[in-house]
Structure 1
Amino acid sequence: MKKLMTLLLLTSIPAYAQELLDEIVAVVDDTVIMKSELDRSVNSIKKQIEASGNQIPPADILNSQVLERLIVQEIQIDRAELVGIKISDGELDAALTNIAQQNGMSLSQMQQAIEVDGFSFAEFRRDMRRDMQAERVRYAYANSNVKISEHEIDLFLADNELDQGEVELQHILIATSTDNDAAETEKAQKEANDLYDQIQAGENFAVLATQFSDGQNALEGGRLGWRPINQLPPLFADQVKSMSDGEVTHPIRSPSGFHILKLLAQKSNTVKTQDQYNILHIMVETNEVVSPKDGMAIINGLYDKVLDGEDFATVAEENSDDHSSAPLGGDMGWFEINKFGARMGEVIKGMDVGEISAPFQTDAGWHIVKFLGKKEADITEELKRSQASNAIRERKVQELIESWIREIRGEAYVDIRI
């Protein structure tokens, strides 16, 4: 009865009083991270770790790792806001629906499951929007700085890198400073060597990654998922090609620090055919005249038109800023999934024939697509070169993202108060 009364008293505290009980745990430039936000994120991560069957790290280590993730995310959100990158409600709903479908649920069923687990669905939506916004700005920065030459593609194909297969990896990073301080580098190398020795002695890789890794996937036990070998940084690719399942690398030095990789599984990839897709496309280009906010308003108006029954091809021909497809009613022809960028590929991959996407944003502007179909085609020389270009781009993008995050983290004003 005493416990019930305590719960009733706590739940009866007015909202303003609960806010007074909160406290700032970090200042990041002009924004703050509150203890309530940290606690919520820590609880979410704990559930993920428990579900994976791994040991939950000590509270101080877990809090530190989660807070660092929130700090880095906050810095990226700030950069996204500066350049006008937004996530529309339509894009957010589409992403949430896709997650629900992947788990065999409807969106409403997923909402119920989240709330049964003790989490607020409104906060889940907010976190998802922020994750998408941070991802969008990372790729916007990286894609705008990637250059690929025909010579690079020639060398890639000459080395037969298209057929190298895929690997599932775990990763630990012990980061070094951007100024290459000798004492700090020596300390990081010693820590990496100690972790390697612990792994060889039988310690759980995922537990050590969660506790000690500075990598973006630390809180997932260092899991990177399945990656094409030809999209890995050359330092990693050279190592994993000769590894066996379960094998762990010695620490590998890179400009960002010391890496330890574990090969979980591998599979060959000798595909001779490829799925191709066909869509109709409407684009509103954003530039010095049309801001991202203005572009979103325009695309939403065009989206309403096609939902109200206006012919998609006609709307595209009259309004699209994609000057190559607009005269064709927005028809993009047949193409491989990521020819027009990873974001476009992500949207169309799960669509059904005749389906119209919600408006979504890329570096070029705002888009709507109508899915016309999918087919399997032989891989032509042109497609091989396109695949090679995509693989080289993805490799460079990941390297740029890693260095950019280190750079903006170092530039930001951060005051940790716990």
Structure 2
Amino acid sequence: MKQLIASFLLALAIMVPVHAQLLTPNAPASRPLDRIVAVVNDDVILQSELDSAVRSIQQQYAGHSEQLPPMNVLQQQVLDRLVLMKLQLQKAGDQGVRISNADVDQAVANVAQQNKLTPDQLRTAVEQSGDSFAAFREQLADQITVQRLHDSVVHDSVTVTDSEIDNLLNSPTYKAGEVHLAHIQISIPGGADAAAIQASQAKAEQAIAAIRGGMDFHAAAIRYSDAPDALDGGDLGWRRLDEIPPAFADTVDSMKPGEVSAALRGPTGFHILKLIDQRKSDRSMVTEFHARQILIKPSELVTPAQAQQKAQDLYNRIVNKHEDFATLAKEYSKDDTTANVGGDMGWFAQDQWGSIIARQLDGMKDNEVSQPFQSEAGWHILQRLGTRQSDQTVQRARDQARQAIGNRKADQAYDDYLRDLRANAYINILVPELRETGSQAATGTSP
């Protein structure tokens, strides 16, 4: 059970909010006092907070501890994540981001569902692992808070135009298909001099040498990468080729599954890519339906029962008395978008009008008229007029191009935002062995 909990606490481990006091009145005399290991603007990170996050990482890699870097490097990586989380939470607080209990309840339900548990079973599992469920909920709240900060930053700074989509699709460098990638990122600090750039490049070459010498890429990412996903082995998951920065896309396109690239220079540092797998894009064929409907809505003058009865009467007139569906729709339907055209809904994808109508369509034959059925809008009578297969490949390509451009811009915008956030923060690492080689005790400006 501990391994199960560790697997979905890994992403949360870096943000555990610890409420330990510097002096605990009821603590045993032999227990050492907690200490501050870092100051982040007006907040602090405690040794107990760092230790707890490191233990969670170690639990995740139980049985594979050889993939973890030396303890001092692991502590530096985890502390770096904790610092970044503090900064984001502080910024979100300044911007008035607030998370309700209902938001956290929904997040708990989602985590439980992902792990095939009920919320009560999840709570039991967390507590059996030795963790506090209240702290677990706080971690989820922090995660939601940071996501909303991210969404706010991206929403304000990322737009995608039709001309950008056209340019991407018409570009000779445009590549279709998907790739499963992992990466190692060796960052270059903002304003770095030639010596700092050379040091980052040397570290990247050291990582490549280790991989060529037999080190697993996953383990190398944990040991050498300073990307936020380093402790996850640098796995980027499946991405469309058009999502990858153009500077790297040509390299990836020329690789075979299992191959590792050289150190590639990017805007923020050096990147080493591994192509895990690849797959081609298929044509996108979608079943479309042609249907028409009559909608009877309850109102201040029509009770729900009267609306249901009216729909039943109209159904009988269509099916038993063979009255014209379109004529009755024009006279009685309360759907503003279709009533004037005899209830005609046009051609549409099955789920375009919602899941309730989609289920009705799925069980009908062409020209069949449905029994009255209820949705949130009221009572419907549906007639399925026909089906066809529609090639949505072009539209799908445009949709994917829009998403790819948006994701690329969003990644760059938020990365720039975090770099700026950190550069302007007061960060003081008080424990010398937790400072990265060559770093200063404090960065940013004092508040």
With the length of structure 2 as denominator, give the TM-score of the two structures: 0.64
Q: Do the aligned partners of 2:258 and 2:274 also contact (CA within 8 Å) in 1?
A: yes
Q: Which residue of 1 aligns with 2:237?
A: 225
Q: Does 1:389 align with 2:402?
A: yes
Task: Give the number of aligned pairs.
Answer: 322
Q: Do the aligned partners of 2:179 and 2:277 also contact (CA within 8 Å) in 1?
A: yes
Q: Does 1:255 align with 2:267?
A: yes
Q: Does 1:61 align with 2:58?
A: no
Could you say if the C-alpha distance between residues 371 and 47 of structure 1 is closer, same or farther in structure 2, counting changes exceeding 3 Å?
Answer: farther
Q: Which residue of 2 aligns with 1:169?
A: 181
Q: Deviations over 1:370-418 (max 9, x none)?
A: 999xxx9752755543332122101111122222222211211101122
Offset of residue 166 of structure 1: 2.1
- Classify the secondary structure of the residue corresponding to 2:189: coil
> Which segments of 5 or more consecutive residues in structure 2 lack a partner in the other structure?
1-22, 289-303, 305-335, 338-347, 358-375, 379-388, 432-447
- Classify the secondary structure of the residue corresponding to 1:80: helix
For residues 18-417 of structure 1, what are the structure 2 equivalents within 5 Å?
18=27, 21-50=33-62, 55-159=67-171, 164-273=176-285, 378-379=391-392, 384-417=397-430
The letter for the 1-side match of 2:420 is E
Offset of residue 68 of structure 1: 0.3
Q: Deviations over 1:185-238 (max 9, x none)?
A: 011111111111111111122222212211010111111222222222222322
The letter for the 1-side match of 2:415 is E
Q: Which residue of 1 aligns with 2:295?
A: none
Alignment partners' CA distance in 1, 2:405 and 2:86 = 29
The letter for the 2-side match of 1:412 is A
Question: Mean alpha-carbon deviation: is it higher for 167-176 or for 385-394?
Answer: 385-394
Could you say if the C-alpha distance between residues 59 and 380 of structure 1 is closer, same or farther in structure 2, counting changes exceeding 3 Å?
Answer: closer
RMSD: 3.5
Could you say if the C-alpha distance between residues 66 and 232 of structure 1 is closer, same or farther in structure 2, counting changes exceeding 3 Å?
Answer: same
Alignment partners' CA distance in 2, 1:75 and 1:239 = 35
Q: Do the aligned partners of 2:284 and 2:396 also contact (CA within 8 Å) in 1?
A: no
> Which segments of 5 or more consecutive residues in structure 1 lack a partner in the other structure?
1-13, 277-309, 311-326, 329-333, 338-350, 355-369
Offset of residue 85 of structure 1: 2.0
The letter for the 2-side match of 1:61 is V
Q: Do the aligned partners of 2:40 and 2:426 also contact (CA within 8 Å) in 1?
A: yes
Bigger relative contact order, structure 1 or 2 (CA pairs below 8 A, ≥6 apart): 1
Alignment partners' CA distance in 2, 1:129 and 1:139 = 15
Q: Do the aligned partners of 1:230 and 1:395 also contact (CA within 8 Å) in 2?
A: no
Radius of gyration: which is bigger?
2
Alignment partners' CA distance in 1, 2:172 and 2:195 = 41
Alignment partners' CA distance in 2, 1:27 and 1:272 = 53
The letter for the 2-side match of 1:201 is G
Q: Do the aligned partners of 1:256 and 1:403 also contact (CA within 8 Å) in 2?
A: no
Q: Do the aligned partners of 2:284 and 2:393 also contact (CA within 8 Å) in 1?
A: no
Alignment partners' CA distance in 2, 1:112 and 1:258 = 44
Q: Do the aligned partners of 1:173 and 1:257 also contact (CA within 8 Å) in 2?
A: yes
The letter for the 2-side match of 1:57 is P
- Classify the secondary structure of the residue corresponding to 1:21: coil
Could you say if the C-alpha distance between residues 383 and 263 of structure 1 is closer, same or farther in structure 2, counting changes exceeding 3 Å?
Answer: closer
Q: Do the aligned partners of 1:161 and 1:230 also contact (CA within 8 Å) in 2?
A: no
Could you say if the C-alpha distance between residues 151 and 204 of structure 1 is closer, same or farther in structure 2, counting changes exceeding 3 Å?
Answer: same
The letter for the 1-side match of 2:273 is L
Q: Where is the helix percentage greater, Structure 1 or Structure 2?
A: 1
The letter for the 1-side match of 2:414 is I
Alignment partners' CA distance in 1, 2:164 and 2:57 = 41
With the length of structure 1 as denominator, give the TM-score of the two structures: 0.69
Q: Do the aligned partners of 1:163 and 1:270 also contact (CA within 8 Å) in 2?
A: no
Q: Do the aligned partners of 1:206 and 1:222 also contact (CA within 8 Å) in 2?
A: yes
Q: Deviations over 1:44-99 (max 9, x none)?
A: 11122237675332221111110000001111111111212223222222222122
Alignment partners' CA distance in 2, 1:371 and 1:234 = 47
Q: Deviations over 1:287-309 (max 9, x none)?
A: xxxxxxxxxxxxxxxxxxxxxxx
The letter for the 1-side match of 2:167 is L
Could you say if the C-alpha distance between residues 101 and 378 of structure 1 is closer, same or farther in structure 2, counting changes exceeding 3 Å?
Answer: farther
Percent identity at matched positions?
Answer: 36
Could you say if the C-alpha distance between residues 243 and 371 of structure 1 is closer, same or farther in structure 2, counting changes exceeding 3 Å?
Answer: farther
Q: Do the aligned partners of 1:207 and 1:221 also contact (CA within 8 Å) in 2?
A: yes
Q: Do the aligned partners of 2:264 and 2:272 also contact (CA within 8 Å) in 1?
A: yes
Alignment partners' CA distance in 2, 1:166 and 1:147 = 23
Alignment partners' CA distance in 2, 1:34 and 1:238 = 45
Question: Mean alpha-carbon deviation: is it higher for 142-151 or for 47-56?
Answer: 47-56
